[in-house]
Amino acid sequence: MKGPLDIHQFLLAHDVHHEIVRLPRSAATAATLAEALGLPPRRCVAVHPFHAITATGDVLVLVLAPSDAVLGDDTVRASQLAKLLRGRLGAGVTFEPARPGLVNSHTDYLAGHLAPLLLPPDVIVVALQSLVDLAASVVYTPTGDAGTALGLRALDLLVLTRAMVLPDHAGTRARRRPVKIDLAAPESLADAATPIDYRAKAARTTNRGLAARTPVAS
């Protein structure tokens, strides 16, 4: 199974500033991760796995959201995902919450501690607009291990996962056109994110070591 060391090495190889934080206590969910870090829930990323049933087979779709975001009714969410991914999965796709066995077999992570990085290419990642709005902020995600968390800029997370963007709920103001973050041989991660108009840009630095501390709440 994959874990924090795999993620750390992957991010070092991509020159992405990050930290692996050792938690004062184990965190079983994104909500308890926020409590353990002493951070607002919106700064911690919840990974919601969905099972997409298509004409050609089973596909795992991960929805990334701030831990305080409300996904809404399963039927509404499934309808939104079907519309967003119709071009990739076909018109007859249906969605349901993914079972742990599907998550484990498709990602090589324990289902209860699913991290959003180092995923195989057939796993589709979707991000809620509220996570995109945190582009220049540092957010924290699971690492595959209940005793640690990964901290990195939301922008880097979105680019590395090639996330497609979904409105938080039916009342969310839509952007002028659908947004897709694509990592097509970019010269840098910042260049890869240029299709999205972010209001803030943060300076990039290189992380050379594994952080082992709990950040001060902000």
Domain spans of the chain, in order of start: 4-192
pLDDT in tens, 81-125: 989 998 899 888 999 999 999 999 999 998 888 999 999 999 999
Instruction: With beta carbons less than 8 A apart as the criterion, state whether 156 and 190 touch.
Output: no
Q: What is the dihedral of CA 122, 123, 129, 130, to 10 degrees?
A: -160
Give dist(CA 25, CA 17) in Å, integer: 24
Q: Identify the weakest region by mean pLDDT among 25-29, 72-76, 136-140.
A: 72-76
Estimate to the nearest angstrom the gap between the alpha carbon of 67 and the chain centroid. 11
pTM score: 0.78
Give dist(CA 218, CA 215) in Å, integer: 9
Structure confidence at residue 23 as a pLDDT band (50, 70, 90): very high
Structure tokens at 91: 């018109």
Within 10 Å of residue 58's Cβ, how many Cβ atoms?
A: 13
Class of domain 4-192: alpha beta
Write down the pLDDT at residue 75: 67
